[in-house]
Amino acid sequence: MSARIAFDDGLLAEDCLTRVPGVRLRRLAPADAAALAAGLNDLEVAKNLVAVPHPYGAEDATVFLRGPAASPHMLCAGLWVEDSFAGCVAIDATAGFPELGYWLVRAHWGRGIVSAATRALVDLAFAATAIEKIVSGHFVDNAASAAVLRKLGFKPAGVVETRSRARAEPVRLVAMNLEREAWAAGRPTIETARLVMRPPLMADADEIAALANDGGLPLTTAATPRVRRPEEARAFVLQALRRGFPADASFCMRLRESGALIGGIGWRDAGADEVELGYWLGADHRGVGLATEAARAALEAAFETTGAATVKACCRPINPASRGVLERCGFQWSGAGHMRPQASGGSVPVDRFRLERDVFYSLKAWGAAAIRTGSATEAPAGALSRPAERA
């Protein structure tokens, strides 16, 4: 690897949610030293790590927080379960390939917490940087960690003898690698006849801004965020990356044939068994049914992956094209109101729409989309075709 990766300080400026409700990644703070030390001062944890001595005290934690954890070359997050500090996940790029490491307070083991947390961090690192490969590894006697890495798509790359500071004797470590290509193949993907939709990457930001900045009235719902300037597009991508799929989801819409970006679509958690759909389309791609095609597939993905009972949406009365998309998907008008689509803008009148799950499925004669959720465990088996999961 030529240059060391430096992680943007803004990546963890806000909490990063994960697939498990209540489990989030948060930037570490000096005040976390005592909790960090309490969690790591457990031989059952430390004996599975290379660099952690046993016993481990608050001073060790403070040195770690002030040193490696604060380096721009380490993406290091505290792992929070509800309101409790519960461990750490980190990608260390201070030397060689970026290396994933993690540990969890013992009381929380066996609930899928580290699987969700490491997935969120790996997604953030690959999506926000140009990293080509993340390496990791587990001691041969650490079956839980082996399972975590396998589920993320890591592949074995050999066995080496190494030392753990908490163990007296040498220990064998199974080295594991995750290439960007394998990571990308496992991301949530929605495919239709003409479209391939994937979550945005930071590398998409300039393209998103250029497409959205067309000056005309975009085919957009009132809930679509403003992404017209490059910095707004980067903030939008970052926000999308920090949200927890499948409760919230954001996809770039690209034409299957040319790969050209044509718009965006997604949903967000609206509470009480409900999600809200939003979408927009670049000016040159309107009027040929692409938004309807995207919306039907996204609705199917939203119903399948979130289990929501209803999807809501709203559009401005001056936007009949967007209203048409909603109506063709089976949405029904549920009232008029106002909303404030942008923090900077004023409130605008909107028409509100709702779509019940049962109505959606009884109308769904347009054929199944191919939807891959990135994990075999989230989505119930349904009418969707899913490419095989990684082992």
Q: Which residues bind ligand COA (CB under 6 A)?
A: 45, 48-49, 102-104, 109-115, 138, 142-145, 147-148, 151
148 vs 241, beta carbon nearer ligand COA: 148
The CA-based angle 33-36-38, given to 5 degrees, is 110
142 vs 192, beta carbon nearer ligand COA: 142
Q: If you count them, how many residues does the chain have?
A: 391
Name the strands in the sheet holding 133-139, side by side, starting at the edge strand that comes first in the sequence.
16-17, 23-27, 74-81, 84-92, 99-104, 133-139, 171-179, 155-162
Q: How near is the Cβ of 125 to ligand COA at its closest, in Å?
A: 17
136 vs 306, beta carbon nearer ligand COA: 136
85 vs 280, beta carbon nearer ligand COA: 85
Q: What is the C-alpha separation between 222 and 202, in angstroms, rounded? A: 24
Letter for the amino acid at 56? Y
Q: How near is the Cβ of 376 to ligand COA at its closest, in Å?
A: 9
162 vs 385, beta carbon nearer ligand COA: 162
102 vs 353, beta carbon nearer ligand COA: 102
Is the CB of residue 197 less than 8 Å from the CB of residue 376? no
Q: What is the C-alpha separation between 310 and 112, in angstroms, rounded? A: 27
Q: Which ranges constitute the DSSP H helices of the chain?
A: 33-40, 43-46, 58-66, 113-128, 143-152, 180-185, 205-212, 230-242, 290-306, 320-328, 357-363
109 vs 333, beta carbon nearer ligand COA: 109
Q: What is the C-alpha separation between 312 and 240, in angstroms, rounded? A: 19
Q: How near is the Cβ of 49 to ligand COA at its closest, in Å?
A: 6
End-to-end CA distance of the chain: 27
Q: How near is the Cβ of 107 to ligand COA at its closest, in Å?
A: 10
Q: How near is the Cβ of 52 to ligand COA at its closest, in Å?
A: 9
Q: How near is the Cβ of 191 to ligand COA at its closest, in Å?
A: 27
Cα R_g (the chain), whole angstroms: 22
Which residue, among 229, 200, 19, has the nearest Cα to 120 in the 3D structure?
A: 19
146 vs 261, beta carbon nearer ligand COA: 146
How many helices (H) does the chain have, and how many strands (E)? 11, 18
Q: How near is the Cβ of 105 to ligand COA at its closest, in Å?
A: 8
Helix H or strand E segment including 134: strand 133-139
Q: How near is the Cβ of 120 to ligand COA at its closest, in Å?
A: 12
